[in-house]
Amino acid sequence: MSGISDNIERFILSLLSDQDEAIELQRNELAQHFRCAPSQINYVLSTRFTVARGYVIESRRGGNGYIRIVRVPSEMGDLSKIVTVQLSGEIDEASAYGLLEQLLRAEVITARECRLLAATVSENALKPFPARDVLRAGMLRGALTALMLNQEEDAR
Protein backbone atom coordinates (compact mmCIF):
# COMPACT_ATOMS: atom_id res chain seq x y z
CA MET A 1 0.00 0.00 0.00
CA SER A 2 1.06 3.57 -0.69
CA GLY A 3 4.10 3.77 -2.88
CA ILE A 4 7.28 5.62 -2.24
CA SER A 5 6.01 8.80 -3.81
CA ASP A 6 3.05 8.92 -1.46
CA ASN A 7 5.31 8.38 1.52
CA ILE A 8 7.61 11.13 0.45
CA GLU A 9 4.66 13.43 -0.01
CA ARG A 10 3.37 12.68 3.47
CA PHE A 11 6.79 13.16 4.93
CA ILE A 12 7.15 16.57 3.36
CA LEU A 13 3.65 17.56 4.37
CA SER A 14 4.36 16.58 7.94
CA LEU A 15 7.38 18.80 7.94
CA LEU A 16 5.36 21.66 6.57
CA SER A 17 2.33 21.25 8.75
CA ASP A 18 4.22 22.07 11.90
CA GLN A 19 3.38 25.75 11.69
CA ASP A 20 6.14 26.29 9.19
CA GLU A 21 5.56 28.14 5.98
CA ALA A 22 8.62 26.76 4.35
CA ILE A 23 11.09 23.98 4.75
CA GLU A 24 14.47 23.28 3.32
CA LEU A 25 15.88 19.90 2.56
CA GLN A 26 18.56 18.15 0.63
CA ARG A 27 17.63 16.01 -2.27
CA ASN A 28 20.23 13.30 -1.83
CA GLU A 29 19.63 13.04 1.88
CA LEU A 30 15.90 12.63 1.43
CA ALA A 31 16.42 10.16 -1.39
CA GLN A 32 18.70 8.12 0.80
CA HIS A 33 16.20 8.19 3.63
CA PHE A 34 13.61 6.66 1.34
CA ARG A 35 16.13 4.53 -0.53
CA CYS A 36 15.14 5.83 -3.90
CA ALA A 37 16.69 7.59 -6.85
CA PRO A 38 17.30 11.27 -6.19
CA SER A 39 15.24 12.18 -9.20
CA GLN A 40 12.28 10.60 -7.50
CA ILE A 41 12.23 13.60 -5.24
CA ASN A 42 11.80 15.79 -8.28
CA TYR A 43 8.96 13.63 -9.43
CA VAL A 44 7.15 14.05 -6.16
CA LEU A 45 7.72 17.77 -6.13
CA SER A 46 6.57 18.28 -9.69
CA THR A 47 3.44 16.20 -9.35
CA ARG A 48 2.33 17.11 -5.83
CA PHE A 49 3.83 20.41 -4.81
CA THR A 50 2.75 22.42 -7.77
CA VAL A 51 1.91 26.08 -8.01
CA ALA A 52 -1.66 25.11 -8.70
CA ARG A 53 -1.75 23.52 -5.27
CA GLY A 54 -0.15 26.52 -3.67
CA TYR A 55 3.47 25.57 -3.39
CA VAL A 56 6.58 27.11 -4.78
CA ILE A 57 9.88 25.31 -5.09
CA GLU A 58 13.21 27.02 -4.98
CA SER A 59 16.53 25.30 -5.13
CA ARG A 60 20.21 25.70 -5.55
CA ARG A 61 22.81 23.34 -6.91
CA GLY A 62 26.38 22.79 -5.97
CA GLY A 63 27.96 22.69 -2.56
CA ASN A 64 25.46 23.51 0.19
CA GLY A 65 22.73 23.05 -2.30
CA TYR A 66 19.15 22.75 -1.11
CA ILE A 67 15.54 22.46 -2.08
CA ARG A 68 13.14 24.82 -0.42
CA ILE A 69 9.44 24.18 -0.41
CA VAL A 70 7.29 27.18 0.31
CA ARG A 71 3.63 27.07 0.98
CA VAL A 72 2.19 30.12 -0.65
CA PRO A 73 0.04 32.01 1.77
CA SER A 74 -3.04 31.90 -0.35
CA GLU A 75 -4.03 35.47 -0.93
CA MET A 76 -7.65 34.63 -1.38
CA GLY A 77 -9.14 37.66 0.24
CA ASP A 78 -10.42 38.94 -3.03
CA LEU A 79 -12.81 36.57 -4.65
CA SER A 80 -13.70 38.99 -7.38
CA LYS A 81 -10.11 39.04 -8.51
CA ILE A 82 -10.12 35.30 -8.93
CA VAL A 83 -13.32 35.49 -10.87
CA THR A 84 -12.02 38.07 -13.29
CA VAL A 85 -8.44 36.91 -13.57
CA GLN A 86 -8.25 33.15 -13.21
CA LEU A 87 -11.73 32.36 -14.38
CA SER A 88 -12.28 34.83 -17.16
CA GLY A 89 -11.59 32.38 -19.95
CA GLU A 90 -10.88 28.72 -19.55
CA ILE A 91 -9.52 26.54 -16.81
CA ASP A 92 -8.42 22.94 -17.03
CA GLU A 93 -9.20 20.28 -14.48
CA ALA A 94 -5.89 20.34 -12.65
CA SER A 95 -5.90 24.11 -12.25
CA ALA A 96 -9.49 24.06 -11.10
CA TYR A 97 -8.67 21.51 -8.45
CA GLY A 98 -5.70 23.60 -7.38
CA LEU A 99 -7.90 26.65 -7.11
CA LEU A 100 -10.46 24.81 -5.05
CA GLU A 101 -7.75 23.50 -2.77
CA GLN A 102 -6.51 26.98 -2.14
CA LEU A 103 -10.01 28.23 -1.47
CA LEU A 104 -10.30 25.42 1.03
CA ARG A 105 -7.09 26.33 2.77
CA ALA A 106 -8.13 29.95 2.91
CA GLU A 107 -11.36 28.72 4.48
CA VAL A 108 -13.44 30.37 1.82
CA ILE A 109 -15.14 27.04 1.28
CA THR A 110 -15.49 23.96 3.45
CA ALA A 111 -14.08 20.54 2.71
CA ARG A 112 -17.51 19.32 1.75
CA GLU A 113 -18.09 22.22 -0.56
CA CYS A 114 -14.72 21.63 -2.07
CA ARG A 115 -15.56 18.04 -2.87
CA LEU A 116 -18.95 19.00 -4.20
CA LEU A 117 -17.55 21.57 -6.57
CA ALA A 118 -14.68 19.32 -7.56
CA ALA A 119 -17.15 16.65 -8.56
CA THR A 120 -19.25 18.98 -10.67
CA VAL A 121 -16.30 20.40 -12.58
CA SER A 122 -14.45 17.12 -12.89
CA GLU A 123 -13.21 15.98 -16.22
CA ASN A 124 -15.35 12.95 -15.64
CA ALA A 125 -18.61 14.86 -15.49
CA LEU A 126 -17.65 17.14 -18.35
CA LYS A 127 -16.03 14.59 -20.60
CA PRO A 128 -18.37 14.66 -23.58
CA PHE A 129 -18.00 18.42 -23.99
CA PRO A 130 -15.31 19.74 -26.26
CA ALA A 131 -15.34 23.19 -24.71
CA ARG A 132 -15.23 21.90 -21.16
CA ASP A 133 -12.49 24.26 -20.07
CA VAL A 134 -14.63 27.24 -20.93
CA LEU A 135 -17.56 25.60 -19.31
CA ARG A 136 -15.64 24.86 -16.15
CA ALA A 137 -14.55 28.45 -15.84
CA GLY A 138 -18.13 29.59 -16.23
CA MET A 139 -19.36 27.21 -13.60
CA LEU A 140 -16.79 28.22 -11.03
CA ARG A 141 -17.43 31.85 -11.81
CA GLY A 142 -21.05 31.22 -11.05
CA ALA A 143 -20.27 29.46 -7.82
CA LEU A 144 -17.87 32.09 -6.52
CA THR A 145 -20.22 34.85 -7.52
CA ALA A 146 -22.95 33.12 -5.59
CA LEU A 147 -20.65 33.01 -2.60
CA MET A 148 -19.95 36.71 -2.77
CA LEU A 149 -23.59 37.56 -3.17
CA ASN A 150 -24.50 35.67 -0.08
CA GLN A 151 -21.74 36.53 2.30
CA GLU A 152 -24.13 38.18 4.72
CA GLU A 153 -26.44 35.23 5.03
CA ASP A 154 -23.56 32.88 5.50
CA ALA A 155 -22.35 34.93 8.40
CA ARG A 156 -24.93 33.36 10.67
Binding interface with DNA (CB under 7 A)? 3-6, 25-29, 35-43, 47, 57, 59-67
Q: Minimal distance in Å, beta carbon 76 to its own copies?
A: 14
Q: How far is CA 128 from CA 15, 52, 82, 111, 131, in A?
A: 41, 25, 27, 27, 9
Looking at residue 133, the DSSP 8-state letter turns out to be H
Q: Does 29 bind its own copies (CB under 8 A)?
A: no
Looking at residue 38, the DSSP 8-state letter turns out to be H
Question: Which of 35, 77, 112, 152 forms a contact with its own copies (CB under 8 A)?
Answer: 112
Subset of 59-88 contacting its own copies (CB under 8 A): 63-64, 66
Query: Which helix H or strand E contains 85, and what residues bound it?
Result: helix 79-85
Q: Does 111 bind its own copies (CB under 8 A)?
A: yes
Q: How far apart are CA 3 and CA 81, in angstroms?
A: 38
Q: How far apart are CA 127 and CA 19, in angstroms?
A: 39
Residues near its own copies (CB under 8 A) are 1-3, 6, 24, 63-64, 66, 109, 111-113, 115-122, 124-126, 128-129, 131, 134-135, 138-143, 145-147, 149-150, 153-154
